[in-house]
Amino acid sequence: MSTSNAVQEINRELARRLVEEARSNPQSAYAGKLVGIANGQVVAVADNWDELARRVRQAEPDPRKTFLIEVDRDYDKVEHIWGLR
Amino acid sequence: MPRALWPLLHHRPVVQVILALAQGGQPLVRNLLADTGAGTAQGAFELLLEETDCLLCGGLPLPGVVLGGAYTGTYPIYLVRVRVPILGVDHDLPAVGVPAGPAGFDGIACFRFLNRFSYGNFADPGQFGLET
């Protein structure tokens, strides 16, 4: 596994734990927030994407070592693209 | 109020956006099908782009999203810097990355993006536009 893949796995696992924490504890600092992770650590918490992206890029210029999450978002929900391809 | 208008492309409404490359150089100009039937006002993404464009632009990865309809399966989302200069738009927006956009287009401007603006033909049936 390459270094960036390994970092991605660690980042995703941390994101999963943050989501679990926010779901079980609405008082969590991450509830309702956008969270930026780099190299297995939370490096930014923000209320909008512009601010989050700026701070994450500052912390880690290589996007492959970063991961962002909208903590309250249900990413398993199916979203439809009705147009034809 | 600023208004951007583009001639219809393949007789369909289009939005032209500019994506900055991660490594510098000429930015990418992309013609996106304006499609109110793509996603929802509260969806996880605002644009649908080719994944190669998301990566060229240094898109920051987010969790994948499950799509149904014209695209089915799980696709990655990236946060990508998007500009529409005439409207003063210069934001990081979530874009779902797919192998290829709809035929004749580079991607889709989804409902959540279009819904940021007033949109329509502004009394010219040969054009489509956005107004802030």
DSSP string, B20-48: --TT-SSPEEEEEEE-TTBS-TT-S-SEE
Give the closest residue to B10 by CA, choosing from B34, B38, B37: B34
Position B100 in a domain: yes
Of A56, A79, A80, the CB nearest to B60: A56
| pLDDT score for B77 | 98
| pLDDT score for A85 | 62
Q: What is the DSSP letter of A42?
A: E
Which tokens go with B38? Answer: 């793509």
∠ Cα A41 B54 B69 (to 5°): 105
Tell me which of A26-30, B43-47, B127-131 is least confident.
A26-30
Q: A63, B58: Cβ pair inside 8 Å? A: yes
Instruction: State how many domains chain B has.
Output: 1
Mean of all residue pLDDT scores within chain B:
96
Position B9 in a domain: no
pLDDT tens digits, B49-76: 999 999 999 999 999 999 999 999 999 9
Position B34 in a domain: no
pLDDT at A65 over 80: yes
Q: How confident is the model at residue A26 (pLDDT cuts 50, 70, 90)?
A: confident
Dihedral pair phi/psi, residue B86, rounded to 5°: -60, -25
Provide, rounded to the nearest whole percent, the portion of chain B with pLDDT above 70.
Answer: 100
Tokens 């693209």 belong to residue: A81
Q: A81, B44: Cβ pair inside 8 Å? A: no
d(CA B109, CA B14): 8
Mean of all residue pLDDT scores within chain A:
93
The stretch A63-69 carries a mean pLDDT of 97
pLDDT at A2 over 90: no
| pLDDT score for B13 | 98
Which residues of chain A does B68 touch, with a Cβ-Cβ cutoff of 8 Å? 78-81
Residue B50 domain boundaries: 40-117
Q: How confident is the model at residue A84 (pLDDT cuts 50, 70, 90)?
A: low
Q: A81, B70: Cβ pair inside 8 Å? A: yes
pLDDT at B47 over 80: yes
Q: Which residue of B has its CA nearest to A51?
A: B92
Q: How confident is the model at residue A1 (pLDDT cuts 50, 70, 90)?
A: low
User: What SS3 string covers A14-36?
Assistant: HHHHHHHHHHHCCCCCCCCCEEE
| pLDDT score for A82 | 87
Position B74 in a domain: yes
Count of Cβ atoms closer than 10 Å to residue A60 Cβ: 18
Q: B70, A49: Cβ pair inside 8 Å? A: no
Which tokens go with A28? Answer: 């969590």
Position B30 in a domain: no
d(CA A35, CA A1): 25
Q: How confident is the model at residue A5 (pLDDT cuts 50, 70, 90)?
A: confident
Of A69, A81, A84, the CB nearest to B39: A81
The stretch B110-131 carries a mean pLDDT of 97
Asked if residue B94 lies in contact with residue B62, where contact means CB atoms within 8 angstroms, the answer is yes
Q: What is the DSSP letter of B111?
A: H
